[in-house]
Structure 1
């Protein structure tokens, strides 16, 4: 028992030291990245800044409420006595719900009103949090479905409301929209780190248990609902969307354009691995009894660090495709290390933690790189439909692999799952190499030579996965 306590204390001490070290390094690179940004005076209009801050006061609080629910989800289900296979099914329900409703919510927001749908988010997400008070498996499944619906609204209706108000109500320049999303993404990343520390304090230091973060989120959601209902205007889509025609056009673009097909393949392969690792990180590290909230914060710091490194690299005119190719190789090394560290004969928790941190750094570089490549390759008129098609193989892969934990015949442990992840990343490496070698279109050549271009960070998308 003394040896076990010493091992747990060592793991926790290591986590604290890693968190402090990574935070310092991240702040250095964030400052460096900030110095490399151009056009810092763009968007300094006082009315725009006031409108922007009003949006942040609502959106960032909603995001913080959502971040609070990330670190202890697996732990909560384990605390209720469910086995890993049962927990995998709960995760799959959440993923499937998010995909199913994700295609519907943008259309619903435009037709029924984006303000109404944002208020609907606060209600449904509060219900999802409260349902986690129950230890009934059926009720928890319903909670995952409701939570998936809520997050699909969070990542569509809020952004759509802002864009409409920005352009139609206030008539601000379209070029200022990325400024707001970049700032939101930066603050969103810092809030994610703070959320991990906060949940660690209440769940572990104060001994309130893994359900505490979900109860903490409810007051923030209520606050968001009140502010939206009293301060936001209602807005609707200017015209109805023909969903069937849009989906057909998106599928046609994927099939006929090799670069769009390769972008979709890269996204499906990499992000399915991200989904799987989000499920696996807790059971992999749990034998060392780490501070889960603090580990989560370390992950978020690594993602922020990756974003800052990407900005610095782009500012130094490193090609985005070359950055993506390099980061895929590093991610593959990280997963291969997890294959080794999770082997029953060579279990090594410290190596597992280091490998997971390295992978999260890769995630931080990957998402802004893919954001730029999608803007260059995917036609704007069909982007919504194409992105929805991309989500199908992504979720099919991740759900299939997670369900391997549910089927007893295929139950070979986490080690085999990481072997599968290594195979997926190997395929992604091939797809990325083919994408890099594929001839660019004239417009892509112009943007590649133009340097940074339009950079929209995707910490929000990272959060959607978590």
Structure 2
């Protein structure tokens, strides 16, 4: 077995242990709660119906959410390849197509959440399914106008995926009083991250198998269409509609203003916005640069063998799962806002250090381990950030605030990509700048949460 196979085996075993330990702890806590005479005397004994409602809530949300995420992961790795190699589109036009998606995502972030709050978050999730189907079907065309339209639709759908699904879930969680069934939101957020990692690994394998079987990269996009149809069907038949603040007199511009005022009025939400912009923007740039960084490290040793990118990607996803599982295992949620904020500050500082080490280190194995640590931090970041936003953002304006927070993220990524250059020097410069910005974000968070 080579280096990456050994690492993947260790990471899979570690994740299996963490998930099994988490399951065992949950079952043990449930048993102790049911048998606690003190709770029974106070009439607080949890009935089977409560735990059943928690399971129904999780299945009702996680199945369509997993299908929606699968649609994203199935086609994501093949977008560049189908543009560049199958359609033979010039590099500059490929960059323009990518930029169109981010610009569309940034613009839609200013109004998508507001519309979801006013007209229904369930409808917004169904709109995601529809737009993603459109996005995938446009990939069957060779017309540049159709492809650009697909990228614009894809930008809007990405904004919806990472804002309205979570907003609907939090509102439904509180409406059903799931907290009385001993299911914390922190556990739900952690499961969302873990599930996303598992779906990413499976989708990568299925996508590659479809390409091999068909001889074309269009099949993963058709599989994504099937996932969106299935997700939309479950959402339309099983989910109840929920809304934010609804006012017939308000306009989209007023919704945006209300969301921006809510962000700037609360310094804690503002610091979360700064951190999410820098952290998630850095994550997108890392996705773009990590393969080149490992290639350069391997080339420096004189090796000419091709890197096993599939294995490396699986290692990253396993490490991200481990970070999410550790978040739950450490029971950060018991510390409330301060516990989640403490975790957020730690992972932000750690990622800043990882980027600095990635610039300094030249050994391929050390760079790989640093990148694994970075991915582990990302796995802990998402549930920590989600917990903080769920506590600080009012449910009535949750959708619009969540989507507005994605606007600076899209601007950050578009600007960064517009400055792209060839060579290791530029990549190291990007890592150094992002590391510095993460340090600034850490100081902001520390000032308002410490």
TM-score (norm 1): 0.73
Deviation at residue 273 of structure 1 after TM alignment = 0.8
Is 2:131 the partner of 1:124? yes
Using the TM superposition, give the Cα deviation of residue 274 of structure 1 relative to its aligned residue in structure 2, in angstroms: 0.9
Instruction: Say whether 1:28 aligns with 2:17.
Output: yes
Q: CA contact under 8 A between 2:119 and 2:243: conserved in structure 1? A: yes
Contact 1:307–1:368, Cα closer than 8 Å, also in 2: yes
* Deviation readout 1:166-219 (Å, 9 max, x if unpaired): 666xx5446558365554444333222222232344445x57354432222222
Residue number among 81, 93, 97 corresponding to 2:104 in the alignment:
97
Q: Distance in 2 between matches of 1:332 and 1:399?
A: 21
Of 383, 394, 397, which aligns to 2:412?
A: 397
- Distance in structure 1 (CA, Å) of the matches to 2:220 and 2:310: 10
- What residue is the counterpart of 2:301 in the other structure? none
Contact 1:111 1:237 in 2 (8 A): yes
Q: Give the C-alpha shift of residue 304 in structure 1.
A: 0.9
The change in CA–CA distance for 1:139 and 1:353 in structure 2 (over 3 A counts) is farther
Change (3 A) 1:314 1:224: closer
Matching residue of 1:424: 434
Query: What is the CA–CA distance in structure 1 between the aligned matches of 2:156 and 2:256, rounded to whole Å?
Result: 21
DSSP 3-state at the match of 1:416: helix
Tell me the equivalent position of 1:76.
82
Residues 1:77 and 1:351: Cα distance change in structure 2 (over 3 Å): farther
Q: Does 1:142 align with 2:157?
A: no
Correspondent of 2:383 among 362, 365, 368: 368
> Within the alignment, does 1:61 sit opposite 2:67 as a pair?
yes
Map 1:102-113 onto structure 2 (within 5 A): 102-113=109-120
Provide the rounded CA distance (Å) in 2 between the counterparts of 1:250 and 1:237.
Answer: 12
- 1:212 and 2:203 aligned: no
Corresponding pairs, count: 416
State how 1:264-413 maps to structure 2 within 5 Å: 264-282=273-291, 284=293, 289-314=306-331, 319-340=339-360, 350=365, 352-375=367-390, 384-405=399-420, 411-413=421-423
1:115 and 1:235 in contact (8 A); partners too:
yes
Distance of 2:63 and 2:354 partners within structure 1: 37
1:350, distance to aligned residue in structure 2 (A): 5.0
Structure 1, unmatched stretches of 5+, are 1-9, 406-410, 441-466
Contact 2:168 2:242 in 1 (8 A): yes
Tell me by how many angstroms 1:64 deviates. Answer: 1.9
**What TM-score, normalized by structure 2, do the two folds share?**
0.76
Shift of 1:114: 4.8
RMSD (Å), alpha carbons = 3.8
Q: Is the 8 A contact 1:109 1:157 kept in 2?
A: yes
Distance 1:27 1:353, change over 3 A: same
1:266 Cα deviation after fit: 2.2
Deviation at 1:402, TM superposition (A): 0.5
Following superposition of structure 1 onto structure 2, how do residues 240-259 of structure 1 map, counting pairs within 5 Å? Answer: 240=247, 242=250, 243-252=252-261, 254-255=263-264, 257-259=266-268
Distance in structure 1 (CA, Å) of the matches to 2:343 and 2:166: 28
| 1:221 matched to 2:228 | yes
Q: In structure 2, the residue corresponding to 1:92 is in which secondary structure?
A: helix
1:193 to 184, 187, 201: 201
User: CA 1:141–1:14 in structure 2 vs 1: closer, same or farther (change >3 Å)?
Assistant: farther
CA distance in 2, matches of 1:109, 1:250: 13
Post-superposition offset of 1:246: 4.7
Any conservation in 2 of the 1:110–1:237 contact (CA below 8 Å)?
yes
Q: Does structure 1 retain, via aligned residues, the 8 Å contact 2:128–2:160?
A: yes
Instruction: Quickly say closer, same or farther: Cα 1:329–1:59, change in 2 above 3 A.
Output: closer
| Distance in 2 separating the partners of 1:396 and 1:139 | 24
Q: Is the 8 A contact 1:167 1:173 kept in 2?
A: yes
Q: For residues 253 and 426 of structure 2, what CA distance do their matches in structure 1 show?
A: 39
